[in-house]
Amino acid sequence: MDPSKRRVVIAGNWKMNKTPAQAAELIGELKGAIREPACDVILCVPFTDLQTAVGLTSGTPLKVGAQNLHFEKSGAFTGEVSAPMLKEIGAEYVIIGHSERREYFGETNETVNKKIFAALEEGLKVILCVGETLAQRESGITREWVSLQVKAALCGIDQKQMKDIIIAYEPIWAIGTGKTATAGQAEEVCFYVREAVSELYGLEIAQGLTIQYGGSMNAKNAKELLMQYNVDGGLIGGASLKAADFAAIVGAAK
Ligand code: PGA
């Protein structure tokens, strides 16, 4: 597929930032700054901001997502939030398998896979995160590692369900460090992601898949990263918390 036909998606990952009042303020600014984006724009906000975000973005091009879910629908899982809860509150997307969740909250390829099933079953769209550590990169196993993460996460997911999945390649060493992957490094690993998807589902589905780069993407480096053949968008942490910066990244995605 001609990459210009792939859906380009810029998503903000607010992480554990913004109270509902602060979220309302930022969304107000974003609505002013992002009027007719040339790409899809998603705000992945904390659970406690979802209701505010869904209300304030209705009728605008901004879409709303969560940052995690539990794979069970309900039950004795203190502190957790399920896919039906996210769906009912109006979230359209959910980030699954972010490296911070894998690192600090015991998420594994197996739980990531279960969470993807739970999200898709409820009609939520998924942003699946994969990426290598610096040690893995330096020992030369990035391709194997990332392809294993992709294949394990998608285990049992059928071809039709792939239309509701975006994959974000986020090198762990680049997240929140100000150390961005070079455009060449981002392109190379996004290609490995597409290659892994192609091995599972064939070339057509792989070519149609939206693959984002994430890791210190900002208003300055976005354009070059987004120009790469296999990079179809960005997952933005720090720079998504400032309306002008985030809007500039959205503007770079043409
Ligand atoms: P960063 O975070 O843009 O602050 O590096 C990206 C992410 O973790 O999704």
Q: What is the pLDDT along the chain (254 residues), one digit of tens a residue?
A: 677 789 999 999 999 999 999 999 999 999 999 999 999 999 999 999 999 999 999 999 999 999 999 999 999 999 999 999 999 999 999 999 999 999 999 999 999 999 999 999 999 999 999 999 999 999 999 999 999 999 999 999 999 999 999 999 999 999 988 888 999 999 999 999 999 999 999 999 999 999 999 999 999 999 999 999 999 999 999 999 999 999 999 999 97
CA of 190 to the centre of ligand 1 (A): 16
Please work out whether the CB of residue 236 comes within 6 Å of at least one atom of ligand 1.
yes
Tokens of 55: 């209300």
Q: 93: which DSSP letter?
A: E
Q: What is the pLDDT of residue 176?
A: 87
Question: Which residue CA neighbors atom 1 of ligand 1 most closely?
Answer: 237
Q: 241: which DSSP letter?
A: G
Please work out whether the CB of residue 235 comes within 6 Å of at least one atom of ligand 1.
yes
DSSP for 44-78 reads E--GGGHHHHHHHHTTSSEEEEES--BSSSSSS-T
CA of 57 to the centre of ligand 1 (A): 22
Q: What is the pLDDT of residue 1?
A: 62
State the catalytic residues.
Answer: 98, 170
**C-alpha distances out from residue 101 to 32, 41, 70, 93, 188, Å:** 32, 23, 12, 17, 25
Q: What is the pLDDT of residue 5?
A: 81
Please work out whether the CB of residue 215 comes within 6 Å of at least one atom of ligand 1.
yes
Q: What is the pLDDT of residue 46?
A: 98
Q: What is the pLDDT of residue 254?
A: 75
Please work out whether the CB of residue 131 comes within 6 Å of at least one atom of ligand 1.
no
Q: Which atom of ligand 1 is nearest to the CA of 217?
A: 3
Closest by CA to 42, choosing from 22, 71, 67, is 67
Q: Which atom of ligand 1 is nearest to the CA of 168?
A: 9
Please work out whether the CB of residue 237 comes within 6 Å of at least one atom of ligand 1.
yes
Question: Which residue CA neighbors atom 7 of ligand 1 most closely?
Answer: 237
Q: Residue 79 CB: number of other CB atoms within 10 A? A: 5
Substitution candidate for ligand 1 out of 216, 220, 226, 240 with most atoms within 8 A of CB: 216
CA of 75 to the centre of ligand 1 (A): 32
Q: Which atom of ligand 1 is nearest to the CA of 238?
A: 4
Q: What is the pLDDT of residue 84?
A: 98
